[in-house]
Each structure stands twice: as structure tokens, then as C-alpha cells.
Amino acid sequence: MDIAVDSYGETRATELALFKASIEETIEWLSLFGADASGGVTRLLYDASWQEAQSTLAQRMLQLGLEVTFDEVGNLHGILKGSHSHTGAIVTGSHIDTVVHGGKFDGTYGIAAGMIAIQHLWKQYGRPKRDLHIISFCEEEGSRFPLAYWGSGYITGRYSLAQVPEAHDLMGISLLEAMTAAGFGAGTNSPKLVPEGIHAFIELHIEQGAVLEQEKQAIGLVQGIVGQKRLTFEVGGIANHAGTTPMTMRSDALAGVAEMIQEVEHRAKAYGPPLVATVGSLEIKPNLTNVIAGHVTFTLDARHANSSELAVFCEALITGFDEIALKRNLALSYKEWMDAAAVMLDSGLTQQVEVICQRNKLPYRQMFSGAGHDAQLMQSICPSTMIFVPSRAGISHSSEEYTSSEELAVGILVLKDLLYELAYHEH
Amino acid sequence: MDIAVDSYGETRATELALFKASIEETIEWLSLFGADASGGVTRLLYDASWQEAQSTLAQRMLQLGLEVTFDEVGNLHGILKGSHSHTGAIVTGSHIDTVVHGGKFDGTYGIAAGMIAIQHLWKQYGRPKRDLHIISFCEEEGSRFPLAYWGSGYITGRYSLAQVPEAHDLMGISLLEAMTAAGFGAGTNSPKLVPEGIHAFIELHIEQGAVLEQEKQAIGLVQGIVGQKRLTFEVGGIANHAGTTPMTMRSDALAGVAEMIQEVEHRAKAYGPPLVATVGSLEIKPNLTNVIAGHVTFTLDARHANSSELAVFCEALITGFDEIALKRNLALSYKEWMDAAAVMLDSGLTQQVEVICQRNKLPYRQMFSGAGHDAQLMQSICPSTMIFVPSRAGISHSSEEYTSSEELAVGILVLKDLLYELAYHEH
């Protein structure tokens, strides 16, 4: 881009104003589908709101002049063919499914931003060399079916349509039934549209954390996605009368768990970032005011960018739990039910985004994503990266989720520049 | 009782063998009414099992030769008229209503033991001077209606039939409806049978704690019943993503509550007996593995024999909670919904029981009852006392509740001796 600094600055201001107006309009428009009374959005995979939103998105992509297709599971693809299609596509995308009472930005932002960026590039620079390809993935959240990343899992071969995973929603409806009822399934549409030869995948997303906001950074360069372990612990004491059992004669399961929760917090803080560890859920029996708790079940969610460091942390923590249980005469058992390895994203793409930030004088930082994203699956088939913009107070999965239009526009600018470099400039 | 030591020892052994056989039979017989699959007993006020048990008890009292009457609310009275009735009755009693899946001994023991003791005294010594009067009280537990001590409350004037308290069971049935359906209510039976002039009230009960067992004491002399406070605390933090929120940026309501629970335990242990304080119940929102808890409600149950010491302890504890909340940037509010003053029982009666224990060479200790009992209401109208026997492992309100027949027999011996002294000996 041989634009003199002055005129470049001017161009950038014009672009940002344009992106700001466009993203405001697009986010508001999409938030109407599945709008709920809480001020948030509920769009669950294959439900009426999700279907309506995907269909309307498809129409808008058609209006933009893209080639539009659904694949067999319901991922929506919009393609702007390049002059050198055989050199591999540049793919961007995210998802429009939400959690129950979710926000307007999680996922949706990446789709809206991708459409705006591609529209702008086409208008500005004409047909690209490589294909520009946008995907609205199915069920990233796993909020209807316990099968997060179903759409990107299908595209990357983690899941296959020949063997649809057994998954049911809370009403007992199977994934297969719901998919069929929504008009998808084997033979209904094109098979997966992104086979070999993707050149790169880029996902633009809100941070869902407060790090960028607190450090006043405009852009997060996502080096990787943390590994996660999830465990459930059972602690057994003796349920007894709260009035007649002296303090020294108790086997109070809840008091023991309280000490374990303190231990989690203490060790996680001492270990330092990017480690996070959370006890978010407890089940207490009998859970009565006047009975000492006899049995408590609690969950642990622990994450770190390095899977082996995560394992070491969890092992030491469990040893600490064992000591607490022993000291308090409590029984302790546990089960690990999730162990997702950390995924490193493509460092070359991260460097490209860094250069774009520097050129645009945007404050940025490198960081890990503490949440999972479709990008971690896409990284298994092509170089992938993620770009984060700030989330106000780090709040996500809530109607309170918010990022200003100015911040959203800056993210689109960076995405647009990266797509330009990858699809128009390189060869 | 002018019995030589040798022959007294012999007599005692004979009596204990008799009481052991009788209490085994009576407890087993009563446990058939409302026997549940857990091996425990469920008899809720005015339900079929309770009605059947009260009626059958009435028949057995009749067979013993007592004058038997129900009062208007369903308390069952059995009276052995004394030769000097006007000098006031000696009343013993307890309750046969249970918690859901309760044990065979709580309450029931006091009724069974009272019948056995009165039968034995009558057979041995003939008609007493004072009336011997046994009462099976209604709804001591408050397990069907949130109105514990309804029966003794009626007798002592805390509650009146003219103004039946508004109370409903979990099915929405009112106390008045249930009472009427069971054949009780205003005008159905004698009005309260224990007006003025009760000379003393004695309640024999299992300890429901493990102190006697651990100290190898046969008898607990109950000096009083502890005061109780019950409070509910609400702690507000910020529900946020467990993966994307660094440890240092959290307002984790559950981590804060864990520290508060530790504080309760720490302060209660430091304060020392007879203070006990328990957090037995928590409600967490959203209570999900991967979301930092935004809101936690928890209860505190605190008890002490001295009401003002209890108040001081609770005030200091709440100050401690405030400091934890402040430090962690959490909102804290609370509501006290129970504040029952401690009740001192009659020290003269305690001394009489002590002398009986010494004479019978029974190991005993003075103690407070950490649980509430009908005796605390009776103390408001007459000198009252309680006698405890050990509970295995302190377990109560459970099918695991157990006291050996030998220990139960020793309690009956002490009750019998006290009833003898009060009803036959004194004047």
C-alpha cells in the first residue's frame, strides 16, 4: 500500500467512520433474531431464531455478490472468488449461535466484521487473487447440544456426518433430529466446502476478558488458546446436627470444601498468569441451615497456555486437597472429565497482525485466549490466527456484553488489512 | 428409699433388666408406625402414621390404667391420679412426630420411657401422692408445618386455638385444615389439660450429639437449652468467564464465601464450647463449571447457652465478613430470621437428678442442649428439666440414630427415681 502518511491517515479515518456505521447497523440488525426480554440474544443451533438469522445472513451475502452455500450440517459459506483460486482461500469467520441470554457481540461480531471487510475490499480493490471466504459456523458454544465446535469440527474432520456424534439437547431431541428438521443432513447440501488448500484462517472476536480494556490496548494478538482441564470432586463428611455437634467433633464436608476453594485461589494467584483456576459450581447435601453438610460435590476449571504446566499445577493442587481431606477426616475422590490440550496459533500470522497494528499506530498486546474458539480447530488444517478487541469489564455470555463501535471498527480495520495482504498482495 | 446397699444393687439390676426388655419392645412396636424403606421412621403431624401411632399409644395407656384424653390440638395425655392431686402434677413427656426419614429414638424414647416408668412405679409403690401425667406433644420437630413446638406451645399459651398460627405444609395444606381432618380443633376434645399448678416437667431424650458417648458418660444433666440465631447472607460479585478473567481481575462471590466459611469455623473454634456455628446451606448463581460465581446466598446457624455471648459472637463475625467483602470488592447484605433466646432449666431439678446419678454410681455430666425441645416451653410455666442418654456417634434425624437398650434402660431408671421422689416422696 503505497499511500503517503498524510493521505493514509485521512483514508484510515474515513474507513473507520465507515466501519463504525456499518458494524453498528449490522450488529443491531442481527441482534433482532432471537432477541430476548433480558436485552440479550438467545439463538440456539437449528432453532427458529438461528435458522432465520443464518438465512437472512445468506441473503445479505448474496446481495454483496458472494457465492453463497450451506454445507450439510448448516455452516453458511460466502465466497468471493479470486483470480488465482488454486493458490488457496483466505477464510474468515465465527459463529452466530449464542448461549442462553447471551450478548450481541460474541461470535456475531466476527461474521459482521468479515462481511464488512470483504465488501470494502471488493469495492476498493476489485477481485482478489485468492478466494475470500467467510464462514458462519454451527454450534460453537455447545449451548444447545453438548458438542461445542460442531460446525468447525465437521469442516476439519474431527466429526463426520457419517457418524453424527450422539448428542441430545435438554428436551431430549437428538442433534440428528434437530439438524434434519432444520433442513440439513447428509445429501441435503454441498459437502464440506473447505477441503484442502486453505491458505489461512482468521477469526476476529471480542476478548471476553478485561485485559485489553484495563491495559488500554486496542488489539489482542492471540498466540494460542489455553489448554483446559475440568474435574469434579466429591467430598464426604458426616451430616450431623448443627446444634448438638461440638466444633471439634465435626466432619464438615462444606468447611473442607471452603478450605479447598481457598487453596485453588491461593495456588492459582501464586502460580501467576496465564494460569486461571475456578470453582464455579457446588452441590451440597443435605443443604439445610441446621445440618452440617455431609457431602459436597464441586467442579474445578483450570486453564493454562502450556498443557504440561497445567497438568503439574493440577497434580499439586490435588495433593493439597488430599492433605486437607486427611487433616479433616473427609473422604475425597475426583474425576477428570475434560482435558483439552493448549493450541498454539500461527506465529507468522501473528507477526503480520503485529506489523499492521504498528503501521496503524494501534496499541496492542500478545495474549492467550482463555476461552475456546473455532480457530483452535481450524489451526489443525491451516495456519490460523485470532484478533481480539476489548470487552467492557470483560463481561461476556450476558446481555451486559459490550464493545464500543469505535473499538469494533478498529478491529475491522485490522482484519481488512490482513485480508488485503493475504488475498491481494501475496502470491 | 430405705433399701440396704446390697439389696438395692440387686433391685437395680432387676429393674434395669426389666426396663431393657420393655424399652426394646416399646421402641420396636412404635417404629412400625411410619416405618420407611430407609430403615427409619416418617411420622408427620396429623398424617395417617402419626394418627395411628397416637391412637395406639392411647390404647396402651388405657391398658396401663391411666386416664387418657386428647386435647383440642391432638396432644395425648395419660394421667395416673394421685392421692393429693391438688398439690400439682408431675409431668413427663416428649413427642412421636419425626423428621422425614428420622430415627426410632428422637422423642419416641421419652414417651416409651415415661410409660414404662409410670407403670413400674404404680406396680411397685401403688398410687402416688401427686398426679403422674404423661404427654405426647404435637409437632415438636416442625417437620410438616413450620411451627415447631406447636403442641407444647398450645399448652403453655404461646399459641392459642382461637388464633391458630398461619402455617402450611409443602403441599399447601394449612395447619387448621390438617388438624380438622385428623379430628381435632376447637370443641372437639378437652381444652388444655395442664393449666396452673404443674409441679414439675421432666423430659428424657437422646442427646443427639456425641459428647456423652465420647466421654463415656451415662447421663447428661441438661442445664439449659442454647440460644439460636439463624441468618441468611447474600454476597454479590461479578459473574464472569472462568477462562478469560485473570485471577487478579475477579470478584468471585464463591471464593469470598469460602473465606467467610473458614472464618466461621476459625472463630467458633477459637471461641470455644458451648458455642457452635455452622454454614450448612449455599445457593450459587449461576453455579456453572466455567463461570465465576456472581452471587452466593448462604445461611449461618449459631448457638450458645448465653444469648448475649451469642450476640457478641455474631456481631464480631459479621464485622469479619464485612472486611472480607470489602477486601474482595464484594457486596454483602444479611437478614437475621431467627433469634431464640437461651432457656435455663430448673437447677433444683438438675441437682435432684445429680444425686440420683451419684446414688446409682452412674457417670454423668452437666451440659447444654444444642437442640430445641418441648422442655424449653414447659419451663415457662413450671420448673422443668431434661435428662439425656448417649447417641451413637451423635447421629440423629437419620435411620442411623441409635442408643443401646442398656443405655436406654439406665435413663429410665433415673427418670423413674426422679418421678418417685417428686410424686411419692415429696409433699
Are residues A209 and A199 both part of a single domain?
yes
Q: Which of B350, B396, B348 is nearest to B370 (CA)?
A: B396
DSSP letters along B130-150, please? Answer: SPEEEEEES-SS-SSSS-TTH
DSSP β-ladder status, B198-206 and B343-344: unpaired
pLDDT score of B1: 38
* B73 CB burial (10 A radius; 0-12, 13-18, 19+): buried
- Asked if the Cβ–Cβ distance from A241 to B208 is below 8 Å, we say yes
- Asked if the Cβ–Cβ distance from B243 to A269 is below 8 Å, we say no
Exposure letters B32-57 (e unless 16+ CB within 10 A, then b) = ebbbeeeebbbbbbbbebbbebbeeb
pLDDT score of A3: 39
Residue A256: which domain range? 227-340
Are residues B98 and B135 both part of a single domain?
yes
Exposure letters B214-237 (e unless 16+ CB within 10 A, then b) = eeebbbbbbbbbbbbbbbbbebbb
- Asked if the Cβ–Cβ distance from A276 to B214 is below 8 Å, we say no
As given in the structure block, the three cell numbers for residue A169 are 439437547
Are residues B320 and B352 both part of a single domain?
no
pLDDT score of B9: 77
Helix B5-31 × helix B405-420 angle, to 10°: 120
Q: What is the mean pLDDT of each run of 10 residues along chain A (427 residues)?
A: 56 95 97 91 96 97 96 96 94 95 95 98 96 96 90 93 85 94 91 80 96 97 96 95 93 98 98 96 92 95 96 98 98 94 97 97 96 96 97 90 97 98 84
Q: Does the pLDDT value for residue B136 go beyond 90? A: yes
Reported as type and span, the H/E element at residue A28 is: helix A5-31
Contact between A403 and A391 under an 8 Å Cβ cutoff? The reply is yes
Domain boundary residue, one of B340, B369, B387 = B340
The residue type found at A152 is S
> B194 CA to chain A: closest CA distance, Å?
30
Q: Which of B106, B205, B240 to mutate to test the interface with A (most CBs of A within 10 A)?
A: B240
**ipTM value for the complex:** 0.84
Reported as type and span, the H/E element at residue A294 is: none
> A212 CA to chain B: closest CA distance, Å?
11
How many domains in chain B?
A: 2
Q: Which residues pair with B69 in a beta bridge?
A: B77
Are residues B44 and B152 both part of a single domain?
yes
Are residues A171 and A255 both part of a single domain?
no
Are residues A141 and A267 both part of a single domain?
no
> A227 CA to chain B: closest CA distance, Å?
10
SS3 (DSSP) at B1? coil
> B304 CA to chain A: closest CA distance, Å?
9
Cα(B242)–Cα(A372) distance, rounded to whole angstroms?
Answer: 11
Residue of B nearest to A272 (CA): B247
pLDDT score of B162: 81
Q: Which of B4, B193, B92, B9 is nearest to B423 (CA)?
A: B92
Cα(B85)–Cα(B199) distance, rounded to whole angstroms?
Answer: 11
> A243 CA to chain B: closest CA distance, Å?
4
Domain boundary residue, one of A340, A359, A385 = A340
DSSP β-ladder status, B384-389 and B219-225: antiparallel
Residue of B nearest to A207 (CA): B244
DSSP A362: -
DSSP A41: B
Contacts of B259 in chain A (CB under 8 A): 258, 262
Contact between B247 and A278 under an 8 Å Cβ cutoff? The reply is no
Cα(A200)–Cα(A419) distance, rounded to whole angstroms?
Answer: 10
Are residues B81 and B35 both part of a single domain?
yes
Cα(B71)–Cα(A100) distance, rounded to whole angstroms?
Answer: 57
pLDDT score of B195: 62
How far, CA to CA in Å, does A123 sit from each of A7, A117, A187? 19, 10, 35
DSSP B84: T
How many whole angstroms from its chain centre is CA A286?
A: 36
Reported as type and span, the H/E element at residue A178 is: helix A175-181
- Asked if the Cβ–Cβ distance from B265 to A280 is below 8 Å, we say no
How many whole angstroms from its chain centre is CA A147?
A: 13
- For A241, the closest of B258, B286, B370 (CB atoms) is B370
DSSP β-ladder status, A198-206 and A384-389: parallel
Domain boundary residue, one of A286, A310, A340 = A340
Cα(B109)–Cα(B290) distance, rounded to whole angstroms?
Answer: 50
- Asked if the Cβ–Cβ distance from A396 to B241 is below 8 Å, we say yes
- Asked if the Cβ–Cβ distance from B303 to A370 is below 8 Å, we say no
- For A301, the closest of B240, B242, B397 (CB atoms) is B242
Are residues A156 and A13 both part of a single domain?
yes
CA angle A400, A403, A409 (to 5 degrees): 155
Portion of chain B with pLDDT greater than 90, in percent: 84
Are residues A221 and A232 both part of a single domain?
no
Q: Which of B414, B426, B413, B391 is nearest to B106 (CA)?
A: B391
Between B17 and B195, residue with greater pLDDT:
B17
Residue of B nearest to A248 (CA): B269
Contacts of B269 in chain A (CB under 8 A): 247-248
CA angle B371, B377, B383 (to 5 degrees): 105
Quick: pLDDT tens for B379-403.
999 999 999 999 999 998 889 999 9
Quick: pLDDT tens for B269-308.
999 999 999 999 999 998 989 889 999 999 999 999 999 9
Residue of A nearest to B279 (CA): A289
Contact between B401 and B395 under an 8 Å Cβ cutoff? The reply is yes
pLDDT score of A4: 42
Contacts of A291 in chain B (CB under 8 A): 280, 397
Q: Which of A240, A247, A233, A246 is nearest to A286 (CA)?
A: A240
Contacts of B398 in chain A (CB under 8 A): 239
Contacts of B365 in chain A (CB under 8 A): none
- For B210, the closest of A245, A247, A258 (CB atoms) is A245
- Asked if the Cβ–Cβ distance from B259 to A259 is below 8 Å, we say no
Quick: pLDDT tens for A31-66.
999 998 878 999 999 999 999 999 999 999 999 999
Reported as type and span, the H/E element at residue B230 is: strand B227-236
Cα(B391)–Cα(B396) distance, rounded to whole angstroms?
Answer: 8
- Asked if the Cβ–Cβ distance from A395 to B261 is below 8 Å, we say no
> A with B: how many residue pairs have Cβ under 8 Å apart?
207
Residue linked to cell 395419660:
B78
Contacts of A228 in chain B (CB under 8 A): 243
- For B301, the closest of A230, A252, A290 (CB atoms) is A290
- Asked if the Cβ–Cβ distance from B276 to A249 is below 8 Å, we say no
- For B209, the closest of A244, A275, A301 (CB atoms) is A244
> B414 CA to chain A: closest CA distance, Å?
22
Cα(A394)–Cα(A400) distance, rounded to whole angstroms?
Answer: 10
Are residues B163 and B58 both part of a single domain?
yes
CA angle A157, A56, A164 (to 5 degrees): 25
> A109 CA to chain B: closest CA distance, Å?
18
Contact between B360 and B414 under an 8 Å Cβ cutoff? The reply is yes
| Plot region of B278 (φ>0 → left; ψ -120 to 50 → alpha; else → beta) | beta
DSSP A131: P
Contact between A295 and B305 under an 8 Å Cβ cutoff? The reply is no
Reported as type and span, the H/E element at residue A309 is: helix A307-327
- Asked if the Cβ–Cβ distance from B245 to A293 is below 8 Å, we say no
Helix A5-31 × helix A108-125 angle, to 10°: 140
Cα(A95)–Cα(A101) distance, rounded to whole angstroms?
Answer: 16
Q: Which of A247, A263, A285, A296 to mutate to test the interface with B (most CBs of B within 10 A)?
A: A247
CATH of the domain at A324: 3.30.70.360
Residue of A nearest to B232 (CA): A289
Cα(B282)–Cα(A228) distance, rounded to whole angstroms?
Answer: 27
Q: Which of A38, A245, A343 to mutate to test the interface with B (most CBs of B within 10 A)?
A: A245
Are residues B414 and B351 both part of a single domain?
yes
Cα(B106)–Cα(B204) distance, rounded to whole angstroms?
Answer: 10
Mean pLDDT, residues B7-24 taken together: 91
As given in the structure block, the three cell numbers for residue B121 are 412405679
DSSP A102: B
- Asked if the Cβ–Cβ distance from B287 to A265 is below 8 Å, we say no
Cα(A272)–Cα(A262) distance, rounded to whole angstroms?
Answer: 16
Q: Which residues pair with A94 in a beta bridge?
A: A136
Q: Which of B201, B128, B195, B206 is nearest to B349 (CA)?
A: B201
Q: How many CB atoms lie within 10 A of CB A4?
A: 9
Quick: pLDDT tens for B143-198.
899 888 999 999 999 998 887 888 899 899 999 999 999 999 988 988 877 766 89
How far, CA to CA in Å, does B349 sit from each of B282, B356, B362, B384, B387? 41, 11, 17, 7, 10
SS3 (DSSP) at A324? helix
How far, CA to CA in Å, does B271 sit from each of A259, B302, B317, B371, B386? 20, 12, 11, 19, 26
Residue of A nearest to B214 (CA): A249
CATH of the domain at B13: 3.40.630.10
Contact between B221 and B235 under an 8 Å Cβ cutoff? The reply is no
- Asked if the Cβ–Cβ distance from A243 to B372 is below 8 Å, we say yes
Cα(A299)–Cα(A280) distance, rounded to whole angstroms?
Answer: 7
Are residues A215 and A237 both part of a single domain?
no
Cα(A27)–Cα(A414) distance, rounded to whole angstroms?
Answer: 18
Helix B307-328 × helix B253-271 angle, to 10°: 150
B5 — pLDDT class (breaks 50, 70, 90): very low
